[in-house]
Amino acid sequence: MLAIVRACAIIGLDGCIVEVQTDFNPRASIPIFSIVGLPDNAVRESRERVRAAIKNSRLTFPNKGYLVNLSPADIPKHSAAYDLAIAVGVLAATDQVPLKALDEALFIGELSLDGSVRHVKGVMPMTYAAYQEGFQTVYVAAEDAPQAALVEGIQVIPVHTLAQLVEHLYGLQVIPPYQAPPSSTADNPQIQVGLVDYSDIKGQEHVKRALEIAAGGGHNVLLSGPPGTGKTLLARALPGILPRLTLEEALEVTRIYSVADLLTNDHPLIQARPFRAPHHTISTAGMIGGGSVPRPGEVTLSHRGILFLDECTEHNPRTLEVLRQPIEDRIVTISRAKGSLTFPANFMLVMAMNPCPCGYFGDPVKACTCTPAMITRYQSKLSGPLLDRIDIHVEVPRVDYDKLLGNTQAEPSAVIRERVEQARAIQEQRFADHAGLHANGDMRVSDIQKFCNLSHDAKQLLDLSVRRMQLSARAYHRILKLARTIADLANDAQIEVQHVAEAIQYRPKLHNI
């Protein structure tokens, strides 16, 4: 008897419906359980898990011939997410569950030997694929139900055990569909936990201003200064002034984290912008993504958020250089012999560094002990093409003790965040008819020519600065994008001379060594 059950495969960040075709041969003289359709080792091992789970669920497993085909056969099948579909296929082929109950249904889950259904990665994109294909119901592990319920328009059935699922399919003990708790429009606790408020950081007003501009337009930042001046603290407080994620952005980020298996059951929908801070020992594959089965790297996990590289000069230069293409294209393509996968990588890059090995080059208080050759070698770890892609270069000087001891409260993050959200609202309205543009930092050359209108004086200042500073075409365009953000923060429709002047001052400055 032949039974067809639907499961789902993950290709990159997207789901692909897989038919689990189970053929049962009761006349087989030699017991056999064969799985075909490019299964990996985890899928092949499902034979033993399915056999034990069916027996331990007090169901019948005839010791005859089984042939399971995972179609389409040209797609590699990975992970144990097919266990539940294979088990249901075996039960349907042996006439232990009704075939009609399997129509328009998707089965996702790993099986334990006792028959319990366990969590698998990528449930949300699998459920979304089922919704797009017109499925009515998806059966998942109970702990995966909150994640699957993020997809509206499809019924989610939380399953604890295989025996419970069989009773449900026969209509004996019907499992009620999972009902997601009502979502709140207020600030999610994730946004505030572990963040430092800018009001608690003494001094560094010009750095806070630079970070406000970066948040207002999604620009990249490089913080340079002696150790202990607050570079890391300022960067880690940056998520507190970023605009809230829209529902579309939240679902986009949640899909990535579902595939990476980084979601929690308490908060399946990610409502805080990602903040990733990998250690400087990270590999190139860890940064950009990769593996025999390509998985998202840090640049993708930072999508719609921040990628923070502390002590960036300690990172492997090759690892830093692979960031150049994602910064420009906002995507990363991983090519392997079996094919290519494209992951989103629209992130803000924030880097922090010391000016020299000892850290005190240019410090007015403590003398630098490095030789000119050491300083040059240290700073050259960041290549010119990478530095040219950084919109804002800002020095973080030593904080005066008077400011540290003072009781004056600085501007809180909530106030700065309001200005940032107002600027982002202007940009969303400006780019409403342009797909793929959400902030000024996303603008392409054609968009810059259309939206960056300069006054006569601003054009003269920019022309003079480009010629004297010998700026590249990329730096010229980045100054325009930065000036556009500064104008948006000031609620000015046209870019004026003061906006261009402030944008120019964030270009890297030359120091005499």
Looking at residue 131, what is its pLDDT? 96
Q: What is the mean pLDDT of residues 170-179?
A: 94
How wide is the angle at C-alpha 340 spanned by C-alphas 336 and 341, nearest 5°? 120
Under the banding of pLDDT at 50, 70 and 90, the label for residue 292 is: confident
Name which of 214, 272, 284, 276 is nearest 240 in CA terms.
272
| Count of domains for the chain | 1
Structure tokens at 339: 């094919």
How wide is the angle at C-alpha 50 spanned by C-alphas 44 and 51, nearest 5°? 105
Q: Which amino acid is present at 167?
A: E
Under the banding of pLDDT at 50, 70 and 90, the label for residue 408 is: confident
Using CA atoms, how far residue 127 sits from 7, 38, 139, 152, in Å, is: 10, 22, 9, 10
Say if residue 512's pLDDT is above 60: no
Looking at residue 399, what is its pLDDT? 84
Is 35 a domain residue? yes
Is 75 a domain residue? yes
Structure tokens at 372: 């000119």
Say if residue 191's pLDDT is above 50: no
Under the banding of pLDDT at 50, 70 and 90, the label for residue 336 is: confident
Lowest mean pLDDT across 178-192, 415-429, 470-484: 178-192
Is 95 a domain residue? yes
Looking at residue 513, what is its pLDDT? 55
Looking at residue 511, what is its pLDDT? 53
Point out which residues pair with 353 in neighbouring strands: 224
Q: Of all helices (H) and strands (E), which one includes residue 22?
A: strand 14-25
Torsion of CA 48, 50, 56, 58, to 10 degrees: -140
pLDDT, one tens digit per residue, over 100-130 is 999 999 999 999 999 999 999 999 999 999 9
Q: What is the mean pLDDT of residues 2-12?
A: 94
Work out the mean pLDDT of the chain and round it to a whole number: 91
484 Cβ neighbours under 8 A, 6+ residues apart: 217, 440, 443, 448, 451, 452, 495, 499
Taking residue 202's Cβ as centre, other Cβ atoms within 10 Å add up to 19
Q: Is residue 325 within 8 Å of residue 332, measured between CB atoms? A: yes
Structure tokens at 127: 């459920």
Alpha carbons 211 and 169: distance in angstroms, whole number = 56
243 Cβ neighbours under 8 A, 6+ residues apart: 215, 417, 420, 421, 424
Alpha carbons 394 and 396: distance in angstroms, whole number = 6
Which phi and psi (to 5°) does residue 18 adopt? -120, 130
Using CA atoms, how far residue 465 sits from 134, 392, 452, 456, 503, in Å, is: 58, 16, 17, 14, 11
Say if residue 59's pLDDT is above 90: yes
Query: Domain span at residue 127?
Result: 2-169
43 class by beta-carbon count within 10 Å (0-12 exposed, 13-18 middle, 19+ buried): buried
Alpha carbons 84 and 139: distance in angstroms, whole number = 9
Q: What is the mean pLDDT of residues 128-154?
A: 95
Question: In 254-362, at which residue ranges do the beta strands (DSSP E only) sit?
Answer: 275-276, 289-290, 295-296, 306-309, 331-336, 339-344, 348-353
Q: Of all helices (H) and strands (E), which one includes residue 384?
A: helix 384-388
How wide is the angle at C-alpha 371 spanned by C-alphas 367 and 374, nearest 5°? 115
Using CA atoms, how far residue 40 sits from 77, 81, 162, 332, 406, in Å, is: 6, 12, 23, 26, 63
CATH code, 98: 3.30.230.10
Is 38 a domain residue? yes
Using CA atoms, how far residue 163 sits from 87, 119, 172, 262, in Å, is: 11, 17, 11, 29
More confident residue, 363 or 347: 347
Is 119 a domain residue? yes
Is 219 a domain residue? no
Is 416 a domain residue? no
Looking at residue 145, what is its pLDDT? 95
pLDDT, one tens digit per residue, over 469-504 is 888 899 999 999 999 999 999 999 999 999 999 999
Name which of 214, 486, 493, 219 is nearest 503 in CA terms.
486
Looking at residue 199, what is its pLDDT? 87
Residue with structure tokens 């059966």?
139
246 Cβ neighbours under 8 A, 6+ residues apart: none
pLDDT, one tens digit per residue, over 249-270 is 999 999 999 999 998 877 889 9
Say if residue 44's pLDDT is above 50: yes
Is 195 a domain residue? no
44 Cβ neighbours under 8 A, 6+ residues apart: 35
Residue with structure tokens 């948040």?
215
Instruction: Tell how strand 348-353 and strand 221-224 pair up.
Output: parallel
